Chain A
């Protein structure tokens, strides 16, 4: 089955700096890669996603890049703000109607003033 590894497990940046979180996946059949943000005690919420036919996607301060050959994808957050502090999860899902998400282990991002 799919295995998703995520690094780093914790990340502390100063407000205004950039943050990068990296994930690798094992199953070449995976073709959908979402990123979820989870605040303490809350539900995971999708912040951006990318499909395997796209190499990069951007939404304001957030961008995701995908390297299918190397089986890795990354989340980039620019101009970080205190409200970006949360746990971020990458995930991978295969094609087809059995679209279970395999999650990485999460990155706790702390944005300090």
Chain B
């Protein structure tokens, strides 16, 4: 158990819908990262937040957005869902913003039908 929690574990929805994935980092960790893992794209970095502020952005679609709240939990919002958005979404956290070990949560498996 890494100490990072993610809810829900599984999510099944239809194309065009909107979902919210939630992540709680390890106690004391200020940085939260979101990654998407699909069969054909591997692990792709989406976005990083540090102490409430966006710090880095990867290949995140405009239909996706995220935020980190004052209690440091983070939410990833996915809208206008397409079949290709089906993937495992991981959240990770680390103590600070610099390069160091990132602890991954168990992931949310999103299936878009």
- What is the bound-complex CA distance between A100 and B55, given in angstroms? 9
**Cβ–Cβ < 8 Å partners of B56 in chain A:** 98-100
B97:A97 contact, CB within 8 angstroms: yes
Query: Which A residues lie at the B interface, using CB under 8 A?
Result: 31-32, 34, 36, 42-46, 49, 51, 89, 91, 93-106
Query: What are 16 A-B residue pairs whose CB atoms fall within 8 Å in the complex?
Result: A31-B99, A32-B100, A43-B2, A43-B90, A43-B107, A44-B43, A45-B104, A46-B103, A95-B99, A97-B55, A99-B97, A99-B98, A99-B100, A99-B102, A100-B56, A106-B42
B98:A95 contact, CB within 8 angstroms: yes
A44 in contact with B104 given A98-B48, A101-B33, A106-B42 (CB within 8 Å)? yes
**Cβ–Cβ < 8 Å partners of A104 in chain B:** 42
- Chain A residue at minimal CB-CB distance from B99: A32
A102:B45 contact, CB within 8 angstroms: yes
- What is the bound-complex CA distance between A70 and B59, given in angstroms? 27
Interface residues on B, range: 20 to 34
**Cβ–Cβ < 8 Å partners of B55 in chain A:** 97-98
- Chain B residue at minimal CB-CB distance from A97: B97
**Cβ–Cβ < 8 Å partners of A95 in chain B:** 98-99
A66 to B: closest C-beta gap in Å: 14
**Cβ–Cβ < 8 Å partners of A32 in chain B:** 99-100
- Check if B101 is an interface residue, CB within 8 A of chain A: yes
Among B33, B43, B58, B103, the residue within 8 A (CB) of A89 is: B43
A100:B58 contact, CB within 8 angstroms: yes
Q: Which 10 A-B pairs have the closest CB atoms?
A: A97-B97, A32-B99, A98-B56, A93-B99, A103-B43, A43-B104, A99-B99, A100-B45, A100-B56, A105-B42
